[in-house]
Chains A and B, each alone.
Chain A
């Protein structure tokens, strides 16, 4: 199992996580993924990459450092993103019942090992 797959495995084992992927933040291309059926990995990667980039610019203009963790909350779940090194970002799609605290900790740890 590659380190990337190991990271995804840890994240997707958390109850309520529908899938996770690692993408290139710059172009939104999927590097590795572990998703449930019905979760569009390419869309998740592209949209999250774009959002992270925008939030990074927003943070920069506000005079603070780049995002280390982002939660986009929807009515029926959330998209979690943790930018890692070498321009990679770890993304997870979670349902409303997920343990967000645990998912955040696992993702921050996993993102630190990316690259």
Chain B
């Protein structure tokens, strides 16, 4: 055990509720002690489940371990708590690139560029992805469409394109192992029509919308009137607005919005950086329980979106 790790371990032992686990996890990762890094970070996440830094770190560790699906989930969680987290955006971008989904890779890199316009590595990575995709004969997209577009199952990237992409100036890129991931069998399955199948007895009252205000799935409405499309339209840009509010007031990334009305409880969250989930129930359902339902629905929605893609 090196002095640095010993010191960090001692600090964490002295203050188990501190954020020292982040530094210890990162140090262990850099030294290649990945299992230990994973254990420390996961333990930290049990105390700080909403900490984007910890999810981002876990993503890098799992990526180093070759668990690309796990890395994807961890980075998606990081984005849920901090939609502008560039490390997670870059990580997911390169996972998409390796899976041959150039459009999704560019989407995420461009969002990373918006979030951190001072990082010169991001425009370089965008240019590299476009160039390599063209060279490899992959369907490059000059101006990516909105995040709601429906994609076919990704074709694997060529080794040449992947190898070139590995040279990009980012820890995340360097951390991604060489072999392109094979899509899991589950990912090839035809997705259910509803993102919320099996989540609750009554799927009504759960709605998933994309960032541009289009309904992806689910229904809301009362008195027999379906109004999902109109509600989804009101949710366009909500995630950005909420993130701006919490950031400007020093509260970090946004996590959720709980809304009480006289005749309903509403709970909003962002299962992914590009989507908003709305859960509506009668006011007799405690808000905390509605939050748990929304969390479960969010996980189902993420899985459903991955299947669609």
| A→B interface (CB under 8 Å) | 38-40, 43-44, 47-48, 50-51, 54-55, 57-59, 61-79, 93
Contacts and interface: CB of A to CB of B under 8 A. Distances in A.
Secondary structure of the B contact surface, majority rule = mixed
Contacts of A72: 242, 245-246, 254, 256-257
A86 to B, nearest CB: 18
Interface string B128-154: 000000000000000000000000000
Contact of A58 (B231, B242, B248, B252): B231
A62 B280 contact: yes
B261 A68 contact: yes
Given A54-B238, A75-B52, A59 B266 contact: yes
Given A63-B222, A64-B280, A74 B252 contact: yes
A44 to B, nearest CB: 6
A85 B81 CA distance: 33
Interface of B: 50-52, 81-82, 220-223, 225, 227, 230-231, 233-235, 238, 241-242, 244-246, 248-264, 266, 278, 280
B253 A40 contact: no
A94 B115 CA distance: 26
A64 B249 contact: no
Which of A59, A61, A78 has the most chain B CB within a 10 Å cutoff? Answer: A61
A62 B246 contact: no
